[in-house]
Amino acid sequence: MRNEDIDVLVIGAGAAGAALSWSLTEKGAKVVCLEQGGWIDPSTFPSLKSDYETQLTREGDFNLSPNFRNRKEDYPVTTHGKNPPFVMMFNAVGGSTIHWQGIFPRFHPSDFKVKTLDGVADDWPISYWDLEPYYDLNDKMLGVSGLAGDPANPPRSKRQTPPLPLGKMGHTLVKGFEKLGWHWWVNDHGIISEPYNGRSPCMLHGKCIFGCPMGAKASTDRTYWPLAMEKGAEIRTWSRVKEVTISKKGRAKGAIYYDKNGNIQEIKAKVVVVCCNGIGTPRLLLNSKSNLFPDGLGNSSGLVGKNFMTHPTHFINGIFEESMDSHFGPMGSPLFSQEFYETDDNRGFKRGYMLLGERTFGPLFQAQDIPWGSTHHAEFGKIFPHQVGLTVVADDLPEETNTVTLDDEELDSDGIAAAKVTYSLSENSKKMLDHAVEKSTEVLMVAGAKDVIVPPPTNLAHLMGTARMGTNEKNSVVDKDNKVHSVSNLFVVDGSSFTTGAGVNPTSTIMALALRAADKIWEKRSDWK
């Protein structure tokens, strides 16, 4: 496609970029996507190799963190603050859905109205009901395994395929939840349990975050992108965007990018959409400086890069006498509990969290903290295969002091300033995590655990909030349709647009927002020039 023919330039080929590109192309728009990575050949996935767990080490080129992988298409992310996060992302066609576990919950209606309901943070300018038809469309496009009828959430359409099996570890957790009378339900997964739209079902391979070679997991390189390309969408791989360009009138013109050979290229389009995740998006906007935007593109409010949210978490393991099967099956979560999801002021914190029944890694990962020596095998035998895990997904309320900025001392392989993430847990999050540890320990012990291991808290790889959605330029970067307030044809569509982070995994909401944004962009096509 020639540059002069492009209607919409999309930057980033992950969850949001893929869904949005498909939707716009389906409507008739001419779409080009710039992706700084390439296509990943499924035959190269570590999940096909017996040493797949070595990818969790610093040497693995499929490591979860770009700081350890150090692929050419990666960029460094320095981390700072009292609780510097472990940053996880992947640069490729499909983005982080290549690594994704496929856990697919939706936000609650209350997550969009936390200021109104609980007096904290800010309300979104849209509601759950605005997104509901797009949640349903996205489920249909990907194929979701699960079971409708969860009493903790609004009714939803029948799941496309039945739920994935609970396994022994899942049934063990159910026993604990049932004894305590707590809510639990089988998880929705972007992993099909039966054939769907030409894709093979899950074979319980059990190494999902190391790539799904059979295509059961709904990574966007296997779902949205083939459909978008069939309709004419173009992906230019190995294209690292240096900056989004702006006209003298303050409209987005396109982008300047480095191609695979390191040569500078320019591309122009009528509309530009940034879909680079909660770290990559503010990095690009802040690097896109001009006379009109000396502090970064769309940053008139000073909020680009502020209010970074992740999901504070604990990985809590119960040790049982009998053998468990936690290291088998999809490396996601067979079930969850939202017993403590909504605000209860008696707990001493606002909002809440979800508990995920978490399958574990294999023996190498579980052996790493056991000292070598004559007792190593005996100590290892006490925990493997005897663990049942619970993961806490805590609602991380936005704080302006948690930021993504530019780190001019670190550069990527094309000389562009790296991202610098500064993050500290709020007092609200600390109290929430303490409560979650107490309740997780309780359910594991009631389920029959003889011991519970509580490692230090960490952060899940959910990158949100740094180009937040709101009602005006003073409190946000984008409006209710994901349009940057100060640039009429520039949109930000990814987790960075989240006003609040909720207590659930964000991918289904990112994709629903992308489908909605595509409709809003198309509705204003008469304004394209």
Structural domain of residue 482, as residue ranges?
3-39+66-144+153-527
58 part of a folded domain: no
Per-state percent for the chain, helix, strand, coil, to nearest 5: 30, 20, 50
Q: Considering its fold, how many domains does the chain have in total?
A: 1
The CA distance from 68 to 59, in Å, is: 7
196 part of a folded domain: yes
Q: How many CB atoms neighbour CB 154 within 10 A? A: 12
Per-residue pLDDT of the chain (529 residues; tens, 9 = 90+): 666 689 999 999 999 999 999 999 999 999 999 999 999 999 999 888 888 888 876 667 888 889 888 888 999 999 999 999 989 999 999 999 999 999 999 999 999 999 999 999 999 999 999 999 999 999 999 999 999 999 999 999 999 999 999 999 999 999 999 999 999 999 999 999 999 999 999 998 888 888 999 899 999 999 999 999 999 999 999 999 999 999 999 999 999 999 999 999 999 999 999 999 999 999 999 999 999 999 999 999 999 999 999 999 999 999 999 999 988 888 878 999 999 999 999 999 999 999 999 888 878 778 777 888 888 888 888 888 999 999 999 999 999 999 999 998 999 999 999 999 999 999 999 999 999 999 999 999 999 999 999 988 888 779 999 999 999 999 999 999 999 999 999 999 999 999 999 999 999 999 999 999 999 999 999 988 7
Strands 185-186 and 309-313 come out as unpaired
Give me the residue label for tokens 């640069």.
91
Q: What is the pTM of this model?
A: 0.97
* Non-local CB neighbours of 430 within 8 Å, separated by 6+ positions: none
Please check whether residue 343 is in contact with residue 435, taking contact to mean a CB–CB distance below 8 angstroms.
no
Give me the residue label for tokens 């970029």.
17
- Token pair for 271: 């509309």
Q: Which CATH number goes with the domain that contains 428?
A: 3.50.50.60
| C-alpha distance from residue 32 to each of 29, 235, 250 (Å) | 10, 6, 22
- Token pair for 428: 């609200």
490 part of a folded domain: yes
The CA distance from 196 to 170, in Å, is: 25
In b/e form, how buried is each residue of 199-213, taking b as 16+ CB within 10 angstroms? bebbeebbbbbbbbb
Please check whether residue 308 is in contact with residue 280, taking contact to mean a CB–CB distance below 8 angstroms.
no
| C-alpha distance from residue 260 to each of 38, 264, 269, 413, 415 (Å) | 10, 10, 21, 11, 14
Read off the amino acid at residue 523.
E
Strands 309-313 and 458-464 come out as antiparallel
267 part of a folded domain: yes
**Closest by alpha carbon to 159, among 132, 187, 129?**
187
The CA distance from 463 to 494, in Å, is: 9
* Cis peptide preceding 46, ω within 30 of 0: no
The CA distance from 240 to 259, in Å, is: 7
Phi, psi of 422 (to 5 degrees): -120, 125
Q: Is the four-CA dihedral 94, 100, 101, 105 of positive or negative sign? A: negative
111 part of a folded domain: yes
The CA distance from 74 to 72, in Å, is: 5
Strands of 330-467, DSSP E: 335-337, 353-358, 387-394, 403-411, 417-422, 451-453, 458-464
| Termini Cα distance of the chain | 18
54 part of a folded domain: no
235 part of a folded domain: yes
Q: For the packed helices 128-142 and 507-523, what is the interaxial angle rounded to 10 degrees?
A: 100
52 part of a folded domain: no
The CA distance from 359 to 325, in Å, is: 8
